[in-house]
Amino acid sequence: MKVLFVAPELPPYAKVGGLGDVVCALSKALRNLGIDARVFCPLYGGIFPSEDWQPHPSPLHICLGTTSSYGRLWETNHIETGVPVAFLEYNQYFERDGIYGPPDGGHSFGDNGERFTFFSRASIDYCHHINWLPNVIHCHDWTTGLLPSLLDADSLRTGWNPATVFTLHNMEHQGVFGVDVAEFAGINFIAQEPAPYLNFLSEGITRASALTTVSPTYAKEIQYAPGGCGLESLLKSRSKDLKGILNGIDLEAWDPFSDPSLPKRFSADDQAGKTFVKTTLQEEMNLPSGSDFPLFGVVSRFYSQKGLDLLAECLPKLLSKDPKAQFVILGSGDPAQEDTFQSLAKVYTSQVAVVTRFDERLARCIYGGSDFFIMPSRFEPCGLGQLYAMRYGSIPIARRTGGLVDTIKPIHKDSGTGILFDEPTSGALFDSLELALGLYNSSDLFQSIRKNAMSENFGWDISAGEYRSLYQKLTEAQP
Ligand code: ADP
Ligand code: GLC
């Protein structure tokens, strides 16, 4: 079984959020199951081919509509997982900094429609070029939404007709463009009223052989408003072909017992090192250190989805009520939200520390050093932050939505792994933060819950098996 992942993110080379982590870890897990999984990704500015990368000897010819161009292919094995990866070099579209938009997070690139159409088309040309024709092409999110249509056109010409799996990581980002992009792509498309818009996500949903999303609860939510973000009826019409498969995490790459980013290692059975990680984090963030201070962590994109405005709203009240509570917040995105948190850090210097950049090492130290991890998401397709947090002994406080429901067990007596709340309001979050403070003060109970969280198994084994079964079913059904 041969499967090509076509994806806009692949850490550590290119990452904005959890999609990249899934592409990386799932491709590895599939190879462990004997599937020849490979990844196709753009060579963005800032990714520099190293000596062991192989430039493909001949240029890649990419034909789109009436245009014809040449790109360059770089082949290598993923630096951490060993999975074969091909990077597409095409400077006009990808050499700049940023994946979907400039790194300041304010807006998207104006030519994203062309960029990702080109990328999708190039992935098909790549398979022909190296004469490796996978049974399945696995597309991820809106950037690859046109791939099934482009493939249909290609199949008529070449006879190669792989199945397509389209994984919906997030319904909010759909890739909506004008008809010029459809002309550029050379496809017939389904016009979206009122204007003839081309919607990449709905194209992919309509044409892919099978649809998956990243948790069972989100699979249900997106078939209704507001979860489907306007595409609920379309999703409902494909309900039979839609499956929620819960994301996992790479247990080797995310292990507090071997993580080189942490100043000390620890595990569920030996938590002494966690105290040291917490103290080091407090010192690094210029906060008073020690176990007297309950430490809440955030690692997130700053985006309305994540509900961090609710945190900003209730923070002053909580900080005044409990002068020992501390917050370390790492995030970037919405410039207004960055300013809000930075202003709070200036007022509450001994209680709030804020870092507004993408920082993988610090993220891991926050998972490892915090006592609680906050995710007040308005919606959350799966969420990986809470999984990393639990593995690193930080108890999640999250809204009862999407994958957060499927991965966090509410605390009951000494069972459970986290605190869930219902309403997307600052009041409901405030109540949960207070509950957490109470839990922190009941030391034995707090330790039990932390141990429960750390003992959960969020590995990919079961979910990768579900993807394998899906691929098998699809290839058996192929003519
Ligand atoms: P989403 O994909 O919606 O952003 P997830 O919880 O699935 O949410 O994944 C977020 C991923 O991005 C996690 O790996 C998290 O650690 C990482 N991340 C988010 N913001 C930052 C940041 N500022 N610095 C480092 N890592 C970050
Ligand atoms: C998206 C979702 C997040 C999910 C991630 C990986 O970015 O917002 O919930 O965990 O994709 O699937």
Range of the domain at 399: 272-455
Q: What is the pLDDT at residue 67?
A: 82
The answer to whether residue 227 sits within a structural domain is yes
Q: Which residue do the tokens 């948790």 mark?
A: 215
Question: What distance in angstroms lies between residue 17's CA and the mean position of ligand 1's atoms?
Answer: 4
Report the share of the chain in percent with pLDDT over 90.
92
Q: Which residues line ligand 1 (CB under 6 A)?
A: 17-19, 21, 299-301, 330-332, 358-360, 363, 383-385
Return the ligand number nearest the Cα of 213. Answer: 2
Strand-pairing partners, residue 373, are 297, 396
CATH number at residue 284: 3.40.50.2000
Residues 224, 131, single domain; the answer is yes
Return the ligand number nearest the Cα of 141. Answer: 2
Residues 184, 110, single domain; the answer is yes
- Would the CB of 170 count as within 6 Å of ligand 2? yes
The answer to whether residue 267 sits within a structural domain is no
The number of CA neighbours under 13 Å toward the Cβ of 28 is 22
pLDDT single digits (tens) 398-417: 999 999 999 999 999 999 99
Question: What distance in angstroms lies between residue 92's CA and the mean position of ligand 2's atoms?
Answer: 28
Q: What is the pLDDT at residue 197?
A: 84
Question: What distance in angstroms lies between residue 476's CA and the mean position of ligand 2's atoms?
Answer: 30
Prediction pTM value: 0.97
Which protein residue's CA is at the shortest distance from atom 12 of ligand 1? Answer: 17
Question: What distance in angstroms lies between residue 251's CA and the mean position of ligand 2's atoms?
Answer: 18
The answer to whether residue 61 sits within a structural domain is yes
Question: What distance in angstroms lies between residue 337's CA and the mean position of ligand 2's atoms?
Answer: 20
- Would the CB of 17 count as within 6 Å of ligand 2? yes
Task: Kindly give the number of the ligand 2 atom that is closest to the alpha carbon of 381.
Answer: 9
Q: Which residues make Cβ contacts (< 8 Å) with residue 166, sequence separation at least 6? A: 139, 144, 145, 148, 204, 205, 208, 210, 211, 212
Residues 8, 131, single domain; the answer is yes
Q: How far is CA 37 from CA 31, 96, 467, in A?
A: 6, 28, 12
The answer to whether residue 205 sits within a structural domain is yes
Residues 137, 98, single domain; the answer is yes
Residues 213, 276, single domain; the answer is no
In sign, the C-alpha dihedral spanning 228, 384, 432, 317 is negative
The answer to whether residue 425 sits within a structural domain is yes
pLDDT single digits (tens) 243-279: 999 999 999 999 999 999 999 999 999 889 999 999 9
What is the average pLDDT across 350-376? 98
Which protein residue's CA is at the shortest distance from atom 5 of ligand 2? Answer: 18
Residues 213, 171, single domain; the answer is yes
| 4-8, 215-219, 331-335, 388-392: segment of lowest average pLDDT | 331-335
* Residue 359: Cβ within 10 Å count: 15
Question: What distance in angstroms lies between residue 309's CA and the mean position of ligand 1's atoms?
Answer: 17
- Would the CB of 214 count as within 6 Å of ligand 2? yes
Q: What is the pLDDT at residue 347?
A: 97
Cα 447 to Cα 84: distance, rounded to the nearest angstrom: 42
Characterize the bridge pairing of strands 136-140 and 163-168: parallel
Please tell me the total count of domains within the chain: 2
Question: What distance in angstroms lies between residue 391's CA and the mean position of ligand 2's atoms?
Answer: 18
Residues 306, 208, single domain; the answer is no
Residues 205, 170, single domain; the answer is yes
Return the best residue to mutate from 104, 141, 298, 301 for the ligand 1 pocket (most ligand atoms within 8 A of CB): 301
What is the average pLDDT across 101-106? 78
Residue 82: pLDDT over 80 = yes
Structure tokens at 90: 């095409």
Residues 6, 137, single domain; the answer is yes
Residues 36, 185, single domain; the answer is yes
Secondary element (H or E) of residue 85:
strand 84-89
pLDDT single digits (tens) 118-140: 999 999 999 999 999 999 999 99
The answer to whether residue 188 sits within a structural domain is yes
Residues 433, 473, single domain; the answer is no
What is the average pLDDT across 302-324? 97
The answer to whether residue 265 sits within a structural domain is no
The answer to whether residue 187 sits within a structural domain is yes
Residues 218, 326, single domain; the answer is no
